[in-house]
Amino acid sequence: MAGKINKLMSELKFYLLLQSYAWKIQFIYRADFIMYAFTSAIYIIITLVFVGVIYTVTFSVAGWSYFQLLLLIAIAGLGINISDYLIDSGFVFDVLWNGGFDNYLTKPHNPLLYVIGESTDTAAIGDIAGYLILFVYAAMNTQFSAPALLAFLILFILGVAVLSMLQVLFLAISYKFINKAGWVGLIIDLAENFSRYPLTLYGIIGVVLFTIVVPLGIATFYPAGIIVGKLSLAGYLVVIAIGVILAFMFYKLSKYLLRSYTSAMG
Amino acid sequence: MTMISKYASFMRINFKSDIYYIYSYLLSILAYAAYPILMLIVWSSIFSGTTATSIAGYSPIALYAYFFVAYAGASMQSGVSEAISSDIESGSITSELILPISYAIRQFIDSLPSAFTNFSFVFLPIVVLTAVFAGISMSWFTIAAFALEIFLLFSISFLIEFIIGVSSIYLVSTGGISSIITLLTFLSGGVLPNTFFPQQLQTVLQLLPFNAYYYNPAATFTGALAGTALLNALVVESAWALALFVFATVYWKMSRGKIIAVGG
């Protein structure tokens, strides 16, 4: 047990080291970083304008008020961008596809953690910061209790973990069956757009799709629902259970599919 | 003739490569149709909750048609900057420059097969289906103007992408510029028709080249852009295409001598 904890701590330390390298690299591309941050800021403004336009002609969208919808959009943006920050699916796929994974297998660390750590997308931090500001602004205009905030945090963290595991699973599927990874980003982008609105808008098919098949809802709709009081305690517990099961399933399935990795480098 | 056959070979190879990855095309159709479907759902919910029959001059059907055509048009955008940046960053551009063909023309030729396949398999089916379902009929003049706008869309996006790609010679990374341009195009009719925005912002957007990406083709299709306003839009787009062509030509001639590459 102690050995396992030591190993875990060692991997965590190594991951943090990779994070510090990723940030050092990012600061070499300072102008680029500033432009990404600028883009994020404009995108948030566009979102505010868009939602503002919608609410000039209606009082609610699927029963969600202006600030509630802003909160949902902020949570969706945070969840997806944190997941993007953690894993750059294009980078990891290229490593697998070009046979570069061999290098990682020779290192005394978990190879998947190593390649994921190296794929950190630091540019996503601009979006994360922007959505965080939007979240605070929307939350200040929404009433919620401290336990609701705690419940939100637990579900949100689980949701981001599920989302990250889903990206790894998609990569494994790409590697094993499709030979291209462009669709991973595409599916996530599409799902991101849909997860910015209440899932109930899409009927039962949409709810099932975004809760189980592409479970973005676990990181977006349901955490927002618990804050604004639209998710009951029973519903909350069911979503937690689904999240845990999916994260475990995605992990096991990814591990199984990645067993087919074969060396491609000399 | 020999020169044309050389470029034709590149076109043939790229076309085969595009067709080989047919799953990507099927997914492209999904991607270009997904946002309009989302907007259809969102705006249906909004229209059902209001007594208004039109918003900012758009009836529900016209608004849905706008989004479908705007995003079908997005499939005609060029994505050449990434390829040029990659050539410059990796140093492989040195091998390209010693070939007996123009690098700039080669990039344009390379873009054509994708444009053709996107036009045939994504753009045209979406536009035709939208016209049928929305019951839109267009005069021959409007069809000609719409076709010209699609050509200008491809040309303007190619030229802007080319300029961004060549900027890799001076910049360490062009990702930031690309993201700003993408955002500006998105602002120009990608989120909402421009008529939803304040008048001052609409005036500024009309003078920029980015309306060519989403707003102008889609608004022409739905009839929101017609008559003098349509002619003005075509003049502005053509002027931008010409200006960008001149700038891109001069910029490339000026920049190619500054390429420093190791390896390749």
DSSP A109: S
Do A58 and B34 make contact, defined as CB atoms within 8 angstroms? Answer: no
Residue at B200 is within a domain: yes
Please report residues of B whose CB lies closer than 8 A to that of A173: none
Mind telling me how many Å the CA of A11 is from chain B's nearest CA?
31
Question: Which one-letter amino acid corresponds to residue A66?
Answer: Y
Q: What is the average pLDDT across A47-74? A: 88
Residue at B118 is within a domain: yes
**pLDDT of B233:** 95
**pLDDT of B149:** 95
Residue A4, number of CB atoms within 10 A of its CB: 8
pLDDT confidence tier of residue A181, bands split at 50, 70 and 90:
low
**Closest to B45 (Cβ–Cβ): which among A36, A42, A61?**
A61
Q: How many angstroms separate the Cα of B20 from the Cα of each of A1, A196, B76, B117, B226?
A: 51, 34, 19, 12, 40
Share of residues in chain B with pLDDT > 90 (%): 37
pLDDT confidence tier of residue B146, bands split at 50, 70 and 90:
very high
Do B179 and A186 make contact, defined as CB atoms within 8 angstroms? Answer: no
Q: Which of A84, A249, A258 is nearest to A164 (CA)?
A: A84
Question: Which one-letter amino acid corresponds to residue A197?
Answer: Y
Residue at B262 is within a domain: no
Residue at B112 is within a domain: yes
The pTM of this model reads: 0.80
Do A183 and B24 make contact, defined as CB atoms within 8 angstroms? Answer: yes
pLDDT in tens, A75-91: 999 998 898 888 877 77
Residue B21 pLDDT greater than 70, yes or no: no
Q: What is the average pLDDT across A185-191? A: 74
Residues linked to residue B58 through DSSP beta bridges, in sequence order: B55
Do A43 and B35 make contact, defined as CB atoms within 8 angstroms? Answer: no
Do A183 and B23 make contact, defined as CB atoms within 8 angstroms? Answer: yes
| Residue from A43, A173, A209 whose CB has the most chain B CBs within 10 Å, to mutate | A43
Share of residues in chain A with pLDDT > 90 (%): 35
Q: Which domain holds residue B206?
A: 2-256
Do A50 and B192 make contact, defined as CB atoms within 8 angstroms? Answer: yes
Structural domain total, chain B: 1
SS3 (DSSP) at A263: coil
Residue B8 pLDDT greater than 80, yes or no: no
Do B186 and A57 make contact, defined as CB atoms within 8 angstroms? Answer: no
Mind telling me how many Å the CA of A2 is from chain B's nearest CA?
45
Residues linked to residue A61 through DSSP beta bridges, in sequence order: A64
Residue at B150 is within a domain: yes
pLDDT confidence tier of residue B22, bands split at 50, 70 and 90:
low
**Closest to A58 (Cβ–Cβ): which among B21, B50, B175?**
B50
Position with higher pLDDT, A85 vs A184: A85
**Closest to B46 (Cβ–Cβ): which among A43, A54, A183?**
A54
Residue at B261 is within a domain: no
Do A33 and B176 make contact, defined as CB atoms within 8 angstroms? Answer: yes
A237 contact B CB<8A:
no
Residue A179 pLDDT greater than 70, yes or no: no
SS3 readout for chain B = CHHHHHHHHHHHHHHHHHHHCHHHHHHHHHHHHHHHHHHHHHHHHHHHCCCCCCECCECHHHHHHHHHHHHHHHCCCCCHHHHHHHHHHHCCHHHHHCCCCCHHHHHHHHHHHHHHHHHHHHHHHHHHHHHHHHCCCCCHHHHHHHHHHHHHHHHHHHHHHHHHHHHHHCCCCCHHHHHHHHHHHHHHHHCCCHHHCCHHHHHHHHHCHHHHCCHHHHHHHHCCCCHHHHHHHHHHHHHHHHHHHHHHHHHHHHHHCCCCCCCC
By C-alpha distance, the chain B residue nearest A55 is B46
Residue at B263 is within a domain: no
pLDDT in tens, B237-259: 999 999 999 999 999 999 988 87
**pLDDT of A266:** 43
Q: What is the average pLDDT across B194-209? A: 88
- The structure tokens listed for A16 are 């943090």
